């Protein structure tokens, strides 16, 4: 399993190239589609030459007790399944991954589904799931000798990239849509020393521009079109499988923006299945915001065969993306596993986020689409009471504190957005109250709040 032998396979036309031959924009020279990493050696192994699932599972768990940096990373402890480097000495790690899986008892009770869990990827070093992908792709950038790295971002990718670049001693360039990213994320990119350009275009425009820039200068592109990003982002699938003792949950529910994450988790579960480490795949469902739902429309119009970009609008700025790069890969993840793709409203996102908050699990708005989506799947009767569900929470609540405060103050949503949900919203709002500095006055605020 240890041979560092990988190649890139075009997702569209199937062309295979050496990793070092990829064009700067990671698009296939023949058909323009994206690549994915494959490991030809795995398929060729037969009989005793196949990896021993029991030995691998033991080794990966054992590494959690090690003091080696590589073993302490929740990505690189699975390194047998991501042999993308010539030399693991090039790994750039902040000890990402190994994130908690929390049971959600109140949500479970409310929905009548016992086993609902949140895999909280916001508990990564820079506060989002992007760290698992960034450690992988940044390590490749370092191994290939790049001095500069770059990404377009709705905020989290830039925060992760800037941190990992700083750790690696590389310079980083960030392109963000002006006024459309949360302050918490922008502050991170600044603090980690990125050159941050705010552009008067949306995320899709930023990515388009960056694609031209990397063709003109030796800058390594670190958006999720870079297939090595997805190699790191597949490892939460391994952690989820491990947490359930390799009997995977029935459903894994993921937010959809540029659709790299759902693609990566699909790849992770598929590889575990092909290698005989798990007996079946979970259903992977992707949830988008109603105003940024190109994949939902694609499923409605053509069963995921074609995708029309949309102009995206949602307060969940992380997923404000109208032209998702990895839509074909995500479509495969959904269709291979028998999952669903649906969208949720702004009010449903806000309510779900507050409900997760009430379980003691903050997250950013984009993450809350998972719970809002689960409620819809449950209402459609496609999640049975006895099934196990994992919601992938992608970002930390402090990334976008403004959103949370606006919700609790009652200034987040417009009246027309909340029709029929007013009582629910009122029951969840916890605005701060101004009180006289006297015990009786403070105690009086507790009345009626048992
Ligand atoms: N959740 C959060 C918190 C995100 O930051 C993103 C994407 C997603 C979900 C969607 O994941 O793009 O893989 O489908 N954020 C990107 C960024 C685009 O630039 O930080 P996806």
What does the H/E/C string look like for 21-80? HCCCCCECCCCCCEEEEECHHHHHCCHHHCCCHHHHHHHHHHHHHCCCHHHHCCCHHHHH
Helix H or strand E encompassing 215? helix 203-216
Range of lowest pLDDT (48-52, 146-150, 301-305, 317-321): 48-52
Does the Cβ of 370 fall within 6 Å of ligand 1? no
Q: Is the dihedral of CA 349, 352, 354, 359 positive or negative?
A: negative
> In whole numbers, what is the pLDDT of the chain averaged over residues?
96
Model confidence at 4, in pLDDT bands (50, 70, 90)?
A: low
What local confidence, expressed as pLDDT, does residue 158 receive? Answer: 98
Give yes or no for residue 188 CB within 6 A of ligand 1: no
Q: How confident is the model at residue 5 (pLDDT cuts 50, 70, 90)?
A: confident
Can you spell out the DSSP letters for 77-120?
A: GGGGG----S-GGG---S------EEE-HHHHHHHT-SEEEEEE
Residue 1: pLDDT over 60: no
Are residues 34 and 258 in contact, defined by beta-carbon separation less than 8 angstroms?
Answer: no
**Percent of the chain surpassing pLDDT 70:** 98
Comparing 72 with 5, the larger pLDDT belongs to 72
Mutate to test the pocket of ligand 1, among 225, 255, 264, 344 (most ligand atoms within 8 A of CB): 255
Is the Cβ atom of 288 under 6 angstroms away from ligand 1?
Answer: no
Q: Please tell me the distance from the alpha carbon of residue 63 to that of residue 70, in angstroms, as a whole number.
A: 9
State if residue 124 touches ligand 1 by the CB under 6 angstroms criterion.
no
In the structure, what pLDDT confidence band is assigned to residue 50 with cuts at 50, 70 and 90? confident
Window from 68-72, 278-282, 393-397, 431-435 with minimum mean pLDDT: 431-435
* 193-226 residue pLDDT tens: 999 999 999 999 999 999 999 999 999 999 999 9
| Tens of pLDDT, residues 107-125 | 999 999 989 999 999 999 9
Q: Is the CB of 73 under 6 A from ligand 1?
A: no
Cα–ligand 1 centroid distance for 185 (angstroms): 12
Ligand 1, atom nearest to 257 Cα = 14
Q: What is the pLDDT of residues 166-179, one digit of tens each?
A: 999 999 999 999 98
Q: Give the integer Cα–Cα distance in Å for 26 and 37.
A: 12
Average pLDDT over residues 349-356: 98
Average pLDDT over residues 294-299: 98
Residue bearing the CA closest to ligand 1, atom 12: 258
For residue 379, the model assigns a pLDDT of: 96
Main-chain dihedrals φ then ψ at residue 17, nearest 5 degrees: -135, 165
By the 8 A CB rule, do 382 and 311 touch?
Answer: no
The pTM of the full predicted model, rounded to 2 decimals, is: 0.97
Asked if pLDDT for residue 46 goes beyond 80, the answer is no
The pLDDT tens digits for 225-276 are 999 999 999 999 999 999 999 999 999 999 999 999 999 999 999 999 999 9
193 backbone φψ class: left, alpha, beta (φ>0; ψ -120 to 50): left
Q: Does ligand 1 have an atom closer than 6 angstroms to the CB of 253? A: no
pLDDT of residue 2 exceeding 50: no
Select from 188, 221, 257 the residue to mutate for testing ligand 1; criterion: most ligand atoms less than 8 Å from CB: 257
């Amino acid at each position: 399993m240890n041979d560092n032998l990988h190649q890139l396979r075009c997702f569209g036309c199937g062309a295979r190239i050496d990793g070092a031959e990829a064009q700067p924009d990671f698009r296939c020279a023949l058909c323009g589609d994206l690549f994915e990493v494959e490991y030809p050696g795995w398929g060729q192994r037969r009989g005793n030459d196949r990896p021993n699932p029991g030995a691998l599972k033991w080794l990966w768990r054992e590494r959690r007790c090690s003091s080696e940096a590589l073993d302490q990373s929740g990505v690189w402890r699975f390194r047998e399944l991501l042999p993308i480097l010539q030399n693991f000495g090039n790994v750039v790690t902040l000890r990402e991954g190994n994130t908690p899986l929390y049971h959600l008892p109140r949500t479970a009770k409310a929905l009548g589904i016992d086993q609902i869990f949140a895999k909280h990827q916001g508990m990564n070093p820079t506060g989002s799931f992007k760290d698992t992908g960034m450690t992988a792709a940044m390590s490749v950038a370092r191994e290939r000798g790049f001095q500069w790295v770059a990404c377009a971002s709705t905020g989290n990718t830039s925060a992760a990239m800037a941190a990992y670049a700083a750790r690696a001693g590389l310079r980083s360039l960030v392109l963000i849509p002006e006024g459309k990213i949360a302050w918490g994320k922008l502050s991170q990119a600044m603090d980690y020393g990125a050159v941050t350009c705010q552009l008067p275009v949306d995320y899709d425009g930023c990515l388009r521009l960056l694609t031209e820039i990397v063709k003109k200068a030796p800058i390594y592109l670190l958006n999720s079109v870079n297939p090595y990003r997805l190699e790191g982002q597949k490892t939460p699938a391994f952690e989820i499988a491990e947490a359930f003792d390799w009997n995977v949950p029935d459903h894994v529910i993921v937010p959809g923006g540029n659709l790299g994450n759902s693609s990566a988790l699909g790849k992770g579960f598929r590889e575990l299945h092909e290698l005989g480490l798990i007996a079946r795949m979970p259903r992977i469902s992707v949830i988008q915001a109603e105003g940024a739902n190109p994949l939902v429309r694609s499923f409605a119009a053509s069963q995921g065969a074609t995708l029309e970009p949309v102009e995206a609008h949602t307060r969940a700025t992380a997923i404000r993306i109208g032209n998702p790069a990895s839509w074909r890969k995500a479509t495969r993840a959904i269709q291979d596993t028998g999952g669903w793709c649906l969208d949720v409203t702004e009010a449903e996102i806000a309510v779900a986020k507050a409900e997760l908050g009430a379980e003691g699990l903050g997250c950013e708005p984009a993450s809350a689409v998972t719970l809002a989506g689960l409620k819809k799947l449950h209402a459609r009767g496609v999640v049975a009471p006895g099934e196990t569900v994992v919601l992938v929470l992608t970002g930390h609540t402090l990334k976008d504190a403004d959103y949370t405060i606006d919700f609790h103050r009652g200034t987040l949503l417009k009246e027309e957005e909340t029709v029929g949900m007013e009582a629910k919203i009122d029951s969840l709002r916890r605005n701060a109250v101004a009180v006289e500095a006297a015990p009786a006055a403070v105690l009086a605020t507790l009345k009626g709040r048992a």
